[in-house]
Amino acid sequence: MRWTPGGQSGDIEDLRGQGGGRGFGGGGVGIGGFLVLLVLSLIFGRDLITPFLGGGGGSSAVSSAPDPRRDAQEKPVVEFVSFVIDDIQDTWTKLLPQQSDTPYRRAKLVLFRDGVRSACGSADAASGPFYCPGDEKVYIDLSFYEELRRRFRAPGDFAQAYVLAHEVGHHLQKVLGIETRVRQWQRGNPGAANQLSVRMELQADCMAGVWGSSASQRGLLETGDVEEGLNAAAAIGDDRIQRMSGRGIQPESFTHGSSAQRVEWFRRGLESGSLSACDTFAGGTR
Number of Cβ atoms within 10 Å of the Cβ of 264? 18
Handedness of CA 153, 80, 161, 45 (dihedral sign): positive
- The strand ranges marked E within 100-197 are 108-112, 115-118, 121-124, 130-132, 137-141
Q: What is the pLDDT of residue 28?
A: 37
Number of Cβ atoms within 10 Å of the Cβ of 271? 14
Number of Cβ atoms within 10 Å of the Cβ of 5? 11
Which residues have C-beta within 8 Å of that of residue 178, sequence separation ≥ 6?
172, 200, 203
Q: Which helix (H) or strand (E) holds 205?
A: helix 193-217
What is the amino acid identity at position 208? A
pLDDT tens sequence for the chain (286 residues) = 999 988 899 999 999 977 533 333 333 334 444 454 554 444 434 444 444 444 445 677 665 567 788 888 899 999 999 999 999 999 999 999 999 999 999 999 999 999 999 999 988 888 889 999 999 999 999 999 999 999 899 999 999 999 999 999 999 999 999 999 999 999 999 999 999 999 999 999 999 999 999 999 999 999 999 999 999 999 989 888 888 877 778 878 788 999 999 999 999 999 999 999 999 998 644 4
Q: Is 241 left (phi over 0), alpha (psi -120 to 50) or beta?
A: alpha
DSSP 126: G
**266 to 60, 115, 146, 162, 269: CA distances (angstroms):** 32, 29, 22, 9, 5
What is the separation, in whole angstroms, between the first and last Cα of the chain?
Answer: 30
Contact 123, 73 (CB under 8 A): no
Q: What is the pLDDT of residue 68?
A: 82
CA distance 120 to 122: 7
Number of Cβ atoms within 10 Å of the Cβ of 112? 29
Q: What is the pLDDT of residue 43?
A: 42
CA distance 280 to 203: 6
Instruction: Provide the CA 181 distance to its chain's centre, in angstroms.
Output: 20
CA distance 129 to 42: 18
Q: What is the pLDDT of residue 200?
A: 96
DSSP 67-88: -HHHHHHHHHHHHHHHHHHHHH
Q: Which helix (H) or strand (E) holds 89?
A: helix 68-100
